[in-house]
Structures are given as structure tokens and as C-alpha cells.
A and B are shown apart, each in its own frame.
Chain A
Amino acid sequence: MHEGFHDVAWLARTRAEGDVTAWLERLPYARHIGVSATPDDAGEGEGLIYQLEPHEHNVGNILLPALHGGVVAAFMETAGTLDLMMATREPRLPRIVDFSIDYLRTARVVPTHARCRLLREGRRLANVQVVAWQEAETLPVATARLHFVLATPDEDA
């Protein structure tokens, strides 16, 4: 089998290496909007911080100007999914069930960051919280909440 999310060995290896970049390379829409991930050097743990590039094609309001709220949502969904894949006890492939986002401030056309928290990992379901900010983490532009069904890589048909 070729390398990819459905290749159990590849998924386990990239996960052990913390290679979120290899995962992002296989997500065309996440690449289109410009999502990347970097280790949280300043933080205590070994978490990741996700970035969204302020591409011109991510703009949703040219008058303000501001990023497209839906693009910010897609960024946060991507971050939540990848972070969950890294955080689960075993390699799992999450499938999104529902997604909810609250917009707190206008997202300007500057780099946007996100941090995720796995609030609950059950046998079948997971709940992930995502916070996105721009200038300062204490001034979030949006918070999101995601529910996922967790499949094992070989059983998710």
C-alpha cells in the first residue's frame, strides 16, 4: 500500500515522529489556505501551535479587510483533527461528526494561530476544543468545538 492516512504503518510512523507536516502535505484544501504546524517552544508541554497564512485568497471581506470566517473555521477544523490524531492513545483516524464555532473578534489579514485541547477521548468519540488568535493568545478571534468518531486505520470504511 502506498503511503497515506490509510496505511497503518505510515500513520504509526509519522505519528511517532510527530510529523504533522507529512499529514498536511496530504490535505489539499489545508494546503490551499496555507496551514502549518510548529512545536510550542515557549509552552510547557509538547503541544503544537498551528498557523494560517494570511493569503490574499483567504480574504472574505475586502472593506475591512478581514479573513473569510469560513476559512478560519476550516483552519481550526484542520488543527483540531491533526492535533487529535497526535493526541489519541493509539493511532486513530478521526471522522468529523459536528463542528461549532463562535466568532469573537474580526480576523485581520495577518497570521492566525491556533492551539487545541483534547477534552475527552472515549472508545468511539472524541471532543476537541480549538482556540484561534492573532496578536495575542489572550485575545482570541474564535473558539471552536469538534466531535469526532474515532476509527482504527484499517476499519474505517
Chain B
Amino acid sequence: MPNASPPTADEWRTALTRFVTVIPHTRGLGLDVVSVDPPEVIMRLPWQDALLGDVERGLVHGGVLTMLLDTVCGSAVLCGLPEPEVCPTLDLRVDHYRPAVAGMAILAEARVVRVTASMVFTEGTLWQTPGRTIARGIGNFVRLGARNTPPGFGEALFGDADHA
């Protein structure tokens, strides 16, 4: 958003809500942005049976957690840069501390740890009960730079609701 004051926390929340709503996979799962305090983002994945990996024990599929960490870390990247850029995931590492259980929403928090000219380093945490971490993730994202970011990318994110 050139020539404007930095977006407020609420504007970021609206922008990242738009971001995860435009992504078909996260829209389908009903992922919700709880709060944004740049460069930190909190999201909430509501419970649904499609998230299960072990039906008998009622445990969440590990891949759901990886997908969620990729999404929340990637969202943190957007608000951790001077201007939103397209930043594909270079790599992601997930440590599984304890299983996630059926019937409870999964909360996801991520923040940008460091930005360099070519990279954005992030870390994320998942939990269902506060203080009991399910999984931790470290995601590194590549900055493609303004030159490779489609014109209007940032504007589309914040979009003028009136003109959208």
C-alpha cells in the first residue's frame, strides 16, 4: 500500500481472511483468521470429520497439520514484508509433539523470524488446548521480489471493498 499509512491489525485480518478464502483448499475447510499482529498471525481450523487420519482412535491426519503450518507461515510472510510479495515455500519442517484429537478446532500461530533480501524465515505452532503444543513448524519462503509479483497483488489483498 504505497503512499498510505501501514495497514492496521484489523485491515490485515481482513486482508489475510481474503487470502485464505481465495485459496480453494482452505476455503473448503473453513479456515478462519483469528487475529493479525504483524508479523504474527493466528488462525483457527474448525473441526470436521474430513480431518481424521485414525478414525478408531479419533486422531487428526498428520498431513492436515503440515498443510495448516504451510498456510499460516505463508500468511505471516505476507504481513512480515514491507510490501506483500509472492513467496513460494522453499522448504518446511514439522515436528509432531502429540496427536491432535477429533472434535476440537486446531489453532495455528506463526510469525516471521527474519527477512533477508532473498528469504523469509518463519516458525509456527499448533495447539488445541493452550500450552499443549501439537506440532511445531519451520518454513522458509523465497522472495520473488516486486518484479515477479503480479501488479496489483497488494492492492487485491487489501482491495477497496467498495470497488471489489
Name A residues whose Cβ lies closer than 8 Å to a Cβ of B. Answer: 2, 4-6, 26-33, 56-63, 68-71, 73-75, 77-78, 81, 96-103, 106
Contacts and interface: CB of A to CB of B under 8 A. Distances in A.
B70 A68 contact: yes
A71 B49 CA distance: 17
A128 B8 CA distance: 45
B96 A75 contact: no
A103 B105 CA distance: 28
Closest 3 pairs between A and B when the two form their complex, measured CB to CB: A74-B63, A70-B67, A70-B70
B49 A28 contact: yes
B71 A70 contact: yes
A29 B150 contact: no
Contacts of A58: 24-25
B24 A106 contact: no
Nearest to A4: B56
Contacts of B22: 62
9 contacts: A4-B56, A28-B53, A68-B70, A69-B89, A73-B66, A75-B63, A96-B62, A99-B62, A99-B93
